[in-house]
Amino acid sequence: MKKIGLIGGIGPESTIMYYRELVYGVQEQLNKPVFPPMVIESLSVFQVLDYCAKRDYEGLIQYLLQGIEHLAAAGADYGALTGITPHVVFDDLAARSPIPLVSMVETACEEAEEFGYKKVGLLGTLPTMEGNFVQRAFAKRGIGIFTPSENEKLYIADKIKTELEYGRVVPATRKIMAEMAEGMIEEHKLDAVVLGCTELPLLFDQVTLPVPTLDVMRLHIRALIRLMLRAE
């Protein structure tokens, strides 16, 4: 079985979900109580956001690369980032990485393409919503990306940073974000909404929208399970 190395802590809540769902997902596939080989290097989501806010992308690459080198030294065959925001430097990071990296953005794009979506909404941190790394990947497949208004972006980013990164789920926040998503769906006639932050499922798991959601974290986990179990 392949050994997966996770860059965790980016965010903390999603790291817990990655570990749990990778373990139970492998057990389900093999139908036996096996614990797959895995290693986690915990970094700081706030350090990542600080690098992004300063647009210090070389600093971000070096920060992540040091963690990935630790994963490789611990015997990981493949690496994965447990947050989507640091994917802003994914291509450069992958080019320098000592082990192959699995992109969360690409796994989400593949799912959208498979279902024939043409227009999707994107919710996430400010670097994710305002950057072009997600939009560019979807555009290559002919899929348009739509984001909330500027004020809504600031609200979403604040709630991710001050609530969700700490595992806090506030009912009022859930209600407001659901209304924002519904407004985007109606305005742009969206086919789906991308939950472009690995903590957003904490809110949206209890929300029913008029279109499907693309949970980037769970799609990524599913791809990692397939990779772990792939025969040589």
Interval 54-83 mean pLDDT? 97
Per-residue model confidence (pLDDT) at position 231: 57
User: Residue written as tokens 């924002």?
Assistant: 180
Structure tokens, 111: 């799912």
Residues 99 and 109 in one domain: no
Q: Which DSSP string corresponds to 5-49?
A: EEEESSSHHHHHHHHHHHHHHHHHHHTS-----EEEEE--HHHHH
What gap in Å lies between CA 91 and CA 196, rounded to an integer? 18
Q: Percent of the chain having pLDDT more than 70?
A: 99
CA–CA separation, 51 and 45 (whole Å): 10
159-204 confidence digits (pLDDT tens) = 998 999 888 999 999 999 999 999 999 999 999 999 998 889 989 9
Minimal CA–CA distance to 158: which of 183, 136, 176, 138?
Answer: 176
Identify whether residues 134 and 194 lie together within a single domain. Answer: yes
Say whether both 116 and 192 belong to one domain.
Answer: yes
CATH of the domain at 188: 3.40.50.1860
Do 9 and 75 belong to one domain? yes
| Residue type at 103 in one-letter notation | S
- Structural domain including 81 reads 4-103+218-229
> What is the overall mean pLDDT for the chain?
94
Same domain? 19 vs 59:
yes
pLDDT for 232 beyond 50: no
Do 92 and 129 lie in one domain? The reply is no
Per-residue pLDDT, 36: 93
Cα–Cα distance, 53 to 33 (Å, whole number): 43
> Within this chain, do residues 162 and 112 fall inside the same structural domain, yes or no?
yes
* pTM listed for this prediction: 0.90
Indicate the number of domains in the chain. Answer: 2
Residue 142: enclosing H or E segment and its boundaries?
Answer: none
The pLDDT of residue 107: 95
Q: Residues 123, 136: one domain?
A: yes
Q: What is the pLDDT of residue 142?
A: 96
Q: Are residues 128 and 184 in the same domain?
A: yes
Q: Within this chain, do residues 87 and 28 fall inside the same structural domain, yes or no? A: yes
The radius of gyration computed from the CA coordinates of the chain, to the nearest angstrom, equals 17
Query: What CA–CA distance (Å, rounded) separates 26 from 29?
Result: 5
Are 24 and 86 members of one domain? yes
State whether 148 and 110 are in the same domain.
yes
